[in-house]
Chains A and B, each alone.
Chain A
Amino acid sequence: MLRLFFSPDFVIAILRATTPILFATLAAGVAAKAGICNMALEGIMLFSALFGVMFSHMTGSWLIALLLTCVCGGVIGLILAFFILNLKTDEILAAIAINLTATGGTVLLLLAFSGDRGSSTFSTVSAPAVGGVNVMTALALLMVAVMHLFLYKTPLGLQIRSVGENKNSAESVGIKSIRIQYIALILSGILCACGGYFLSGGYMNSFTKNMQSGRGFIALAASEMGANTPIGGFAVAMLFGIAQAVGNQLQLTSIPVELIQMIPYATTLIGLAVFSYIVRKRKEKLAKG
């Protein structure tokens, strides 16, 4: 049984399962730092998974497809920002609207594009893998460092964090909070689009309907548990990736499948419990002064 878990295949499986969640976790993090809960990750991911295969089929290049998908992800982030910031829509309702649109809209777009219903059957070009590790995985790991530096070492990063901490005091020192939140949501859309792109262009090599399957929501939880920091989010996303990969390997054993399928959810529950305990302790400490 142990040899199931000590093979290069297993490590690659962990990285593969972590990558889309990690991108979405970073996306959730940057939005949360600007004071917005981006629940639309699920829908942005799904749209991006579809756009990825469509663009790579049209252009024949995975890189151009990735860039175009990122542009689309950014545009969806922009639309979300417009609803929330200009039209004052409730951020949760706007996100639900985007998620619902994605569920039906992707099936409709795919049908219009290729006549396929639910699953793409045309040829695509996926992001290449080096030594079994996809370049998108490497990009995701790189983005952890980039986002950390961006949020904590650049003026714009500081502005995003200050808007998230307290919008009014940020504005009192001349920061245009709406502009900053726009930037954060567009960035969030772009990061999430990378995760969606990887789902259909590296993880899988085709699009199937609703293939994001809750990864956007898992990422939201992961980011929250990681205190919305890139490094904390990375650690939790990795934990989810490991839980997923361990569950997949355990199905090869005679352990009942119902128990195994609980693992990712049990991990979330235990993680959230530990997280809220730590937060409470910290608050108690602060209260005592």
Chain B
Amino acid sequence: MKKKVWALLLTAALTLAALTGCGGTSAPSDSGGGTSSDGTYKAALLIAGTLGDKSFWDSANEGLAALKAELGDAFDYKVEQMGGGAADQANYEPTILDYCDSGEYDLIITGSFTMVDALTSAVEQFPDQKFILFDEAYDFEANGNPDNLYNILFKQNEVSYLVGAEAALMSQTGAICFLGGMAGKVINDFLVGYIQGAKDANPDIKVAVSMVGNYEDSAKGKDLSLAMYNAGADCGFNVAGSAGMGLLEAAKETGKLAFGVDSDQASLLPDYAPYIPTSALKNVGNALYIALKQDIAGELAYGTQAYFGFSEGGVNLVKDAHYEEMVPEEIRTAVDDLEAKISAGEIEVYSSSTMSTEEIETLKASVALQ
């Protein structure tokens, strides 16, 4: 008997453990009735994580909320938080298929690379259902060119170009650094933009580059960053998920500067704000807002990929009072000029999607410290 009770308790504890990471898959934020046939345009946002990340997913949610505020009854949306843990990933495919099966939604929106496999099977099984995938390139050709998916990508290289230029202009030592997570496509896109911006601002700039190898080992991120700062760099940029926290701590400890990413890290981390001039943001919400308005008007080009950069309002630098306080006016003006040039197409920023590995290595070598 006693043993049974313990077995039950243990099972309960394990179940709890499995559920803790996912923030409750059964907690929809908004579930209005009605179907797509009653004139209301309905969208579902499937989040491979949880709201409250003060970045990516929150931004997506805000974009839909803004559209709802504007269109009122003509638009409705539902948010499904699926959790971002390893154990949650098994739920992605059943969840997205459930949503397709219900037939209630004009559009199903999801994002990030963890969703691609689940999305691919949904796109194939429900050719009449419309989908949007953001922030991960969808391989249209390999999947038979589906015409029910619209793929939103961000020109992180453009905003990274500005960060690189700004870092180079603010550097006293003539050396800056970059802490990446893993040398994948998106991180390399950040990297090549960063190096190009830095070189355009100061042709003699040196750029130290380190990769953590994952997005979680913040202590290793800190060690790598300290090594780069100790080697002479005095401005850095973190694009390494939570491991990037290591760069911010290293900057604080050595009194150097560090640029933030994905969310306004200066306002999020007040203790570190004096070392964070600004942060590079992907404006997911704005991109979704634009795409959905097009879709409601029946003009969204399904079956294609769209890149959102400065001119499309897809990326931006945080420019608030804190930024103006930390960055001298002439540098801010120079950065604004560069932004205008990128928007106007006068500067073409390098992109990892069109560069070979050798070209990226050559670019890195051209600014190497040693």
Chain A residues within CB distance 8 Å of chain B: 1, 4, 7, 9, 13, 16-17, 20, 83, 87, 89, 97, 100-101, 103-105, 107-108, 111, 115, 117-119, 121, 123, 199, 203-206, 208-211, 213, 244-245, 248-249, 251-254, 256-258, 261
Contacts and interface: CB of A to CB of B under 8 A. Distances in A.
Contacts of A204: 218-219, 222, 245-246, 249
Given A103-B85, A244-B220, 18 more contacts: A7-B230, A17-B223, A101-B14, A104-B21, A115-B52, A117-B50, A117-B53, A121-B268, A123-B271, A208-B245, A209-B242, A211-B216, A211-B217, A211-B219, A248-B223, A251-B211, A256-B361, A257-B210
Given A13-B227, A117-B50, A121-B268, A248 B210 contact: yes
B52 A117 contact: yes
15 contacts: A7-B230, A9-B227, A104-B21, A117-B52, A118-B242, A119-B242, A119-B245, A204-B246, A210-B242, A213-B219, A244-B223, A248-B224, A251-B209, A257-B183, A261-B213
B170 interface: no
Interface of B: 3, 6, 10, 13-14, 16-22, 50, 52-54, 85-87, 183, 208-211, 213-214, 216-220, 222-224, 226-228, 230-231, 242-243, 245-246, 249, 268-271, 361, 364-365, 368-370
Contact of B370 (A104, A211, A253): A253
B272 to A, nearest CB: 9
Contacts, number: 130
Nearest to A253: B370
A20 B220 CA distance: 12
Contacts of B13: 97, 101
A97 B269 contact: no
Contacts of A118: 53, 242
Secondary structure of the B contact surface, majority rule: helix
User: What 3 pairs across the A-B complex have the smallest Cβ distances?
Assistant: A104-B20, A104-B21, A213-B217
A103 B21 contact: yes
Contact of B219 (A100, A101, A203): A203
Given A117-B52, A208-B243, A251 B20 contact: no
A257 B18 CA distance: 35
Given A97-B14, A100-B87, A208-B218, A251 B53 contact: no
Contacts of B22: 104
Nearest to A97: B14
Contacts of A119: 218, 242, 245
Contacts of B216: 208-211, 213
A9 B254 CA distance: 12
Contacts of A206: 218, 245, 249
Contacts of B220: 213, 244, 248
Nearest to A251: B210
A210 B20 CA distance: 14
Contact of B242 (A20, A208, A245, A261): A208
Given A208-B218, A251-B209, A104 B18 contact: yes
Contacts of B245: 119, 204, 206, 208
Residue of B214, B230, B361, B365 with most chain A CB atoms under a 10 A cut-off: B230
Given A204-B218, A210-B216, A100 B17 contact: yes
A108 B219 contact: no
Residue of A105, A121, A258 with most chain B CB atoms under a 10 A cut-off: A121
A16 B226 CA distance: 12
Contacts of A87: 3, 6, 10
A244 B52 CA distance: 34
Given A104-B17, A208-B242, A257 B211 contact: yes
A106 to B, nearest CB: 9
A9 B228 contact: no
A211 B215 CA distance: 10
A117 B53 CA distance: 6
B214 to A, nearest CB: 7
B81 to A, nearest CB: 12
B20 A252 contact: no
A254 B20 contact: no
A202 B17 CA distance: 28
A213 B226 CA distance: 19
B278 to A, nearest CB: 18
A257 B213 CA distance: 9
Nearest to B246: A204
Given A108-B20, A206-B245, A209-B242, A254 B365 contact: yes
A105 B19 CA distance: 9
A20 B243 CA distance: 17
A105 B20 contact: yes
Contacts of A213: 214, 216-217, 219-220
A87 B21 CA distance: 27
A199 B18 contact: no
Contacts of B16: 101
Nearest to A79: B13
Nearest to B222: A204
A252 B18 contact: no
A97 B7 CA distance: 13
Nearest to B250: A204
Contacts of B218: 119, 204, 206, 208, 211
Contact of A105 (B17, B86, B224, B369): B17
A62 B351 CA distance: 46
Nearest to B3: A87
